[in-house]
Structure 1
């Protein structure tokens, strides 16, 4: 039994030693983010059902494995990248589980992402076979949860390289993402008149940038600064970022004046919190 365990571990350890687990995790995170944005593109272009509601097949080629036209290609390519993202998630989880040198918190996060992956696959199938807004929303938020888990795991793995300047930069990224998120939304106060597929893709890109920025800032701030006021600002910004991401999506889907007002108010509060946190990093005591 021990011989089999030792032999099976030999394959992963040279792989991790050659490419590095942090790089494997970063590549997996990039694939997860790409899958989310490609899914947004497929939805925004109306391509979600373009494969004639086939899943996992499409509508052309041998056994209907390939797309027949451009709309089908959007959906097919989303599934194609999602397949590699799923393999990368599983590979990261197995590598973390098999390597005793990897932080157990990281292992728990990536294994949790692996557990959610088949659920996400089933939800992806249901968006094709049923396509209800509830299923679509659950599919999106499950993907965002996986993305957030891998952001946290990646920050933990790269924690030794994280400096105080990176915290300020992450706060700056969040501060840029907030107005972009609002400006690209279909609100009366926004700068757009047509919520086009490109606009939707950019807005959801801003969502991922916002979540990644606030996670990096919140985690790095606690490691690199010894300042209670900054810690409080980072905690508030984390909560507000989640509220803005949620209300922003709800505002797009429901077109409620009350919801729009709450969304804009939360975005302004978050922007102010980011600004205050950036100023505080200039004077706070570093560790």
Structure 2
């Protein structure tokens, strides 16, 4: 008995019309939106809205809809997360059933699909228990899924990416780092409140730093053909993730030493990004 691995006509038709690289990019956008909306729900104190129901809310037939503005924040976060989950599953299934998709991409998006139900359970637990440990796990699992899809997206678009995109990624990181610091709790507290808007902006630049840390070394390895330079970019990327971790900790605990360490390492990262831009431009 022979097995037929040819994708079904429906899946093949979708790939022909949209292109898998566009499907993956759209999934990444939905994942990003879900994370930022989750930050908004937490920042506005809406995580326990919907009368602490999950997955239902607190109004309409079967409590499917929100009854007030705080409930709307939480409900809309869940609504977008639902579509992000469908997109993640669709990306994984399509990659699995399409022989032309890079097997590395398939492994990444399938891992993202495996993590998705874990993330859903953690989301439920933020409503059921709402402890800082669960909130942290919920956040870092979301960032891991985001990172997996950034890597997968770069892999499927790599034939269109050039050395200029390395410089662009480093410039994005260099632009994001100062805002990441200025919007952090220890700095913004001296000027304004750590409001929901400020938190969304800070986590937006956090994702920008993470994306820059991934894109620059990945594209550089393919386009620059310089082992020492790509090693430098990889080291800068790892260091960027350390800064992101420290920035998250400053929002979780009050420690002058930790705040100082975060600011210093962020300053070093900014210099590393700027030096990377100079080195790449000289190389190209």
Bin for the TM-score computed over the shorter chain? over 0.9
Q: Which residue of 1 aligns with 2:161?
A: 162
In structure 2, distance between residues paired with 1:191 and 1:245: 21
Q: Which residue of 2 aligns with 1:254?
A: 253
In structure 2, distance between residues paired with 1:169 and 1:152: 16
Q: Secondary structure at the match of 2:77?
A: helix
Q: Which residue of 2 aligns with 1:264?
A: 263
Computed over aligned residues only, the root mean square deviation of the Cα atoms, in angstroms, reads: 1.5
Q: Secondary structure at the match of 1:56?
A: coil
Superposition deviation, residue 10 in structure 1: 2.2
Superposition deviation, residue 244 in structure 1: 0.9
**Range that drifts further, 45-54 or 180-189:** 180-189
In structure 2, distance between residues paired with 1:274 and 1:10: 46
2:213–2:241 contact (8 Å) kept in structure 1: no
In structure 1, distance between residues paired with 2:159 and 2:57: 45
Q: Which residue of 1 aligns with 2:50?
A: 51
Superposition deviation, residue 15 in structure 1: 0.9
> What are the superposed Cα offsets for residues 17-68 of structure 1, whole Å, 9 maximum, x if unpaired?
1110000000000000000000000000000011111000000000000000
Q: Which residue of 2 aligns with 1:113?
A: 112
Superposition deviation, residue 5 in structure 1: 5.8
In structure 1, distance between residues paired with 2:274 and 2:100: 38
Structure-1-length-normalised TM-score? 0.95
Structure-2-length-normalised TM-score? 0.96
Q: Secondary structure at the match of 1:253?
A: coil
In structure 1, distance between residues paired with 2:199 and 2:30: 19
Superposition deviation, residue 4 in structure 1: 7.5
Q: Which residue of 2 aligns with 1:238?
A: 237
In structure 1, distance between residues paired with 2:191 and 2:124: 32
In structure 2, distance between residues paired with 1:69 and 1:212: 35
- Map 1:1-287; keep pairs closer than 5 Å: 6=6, 9-188=8-187, 192-284=191-283, 286=284
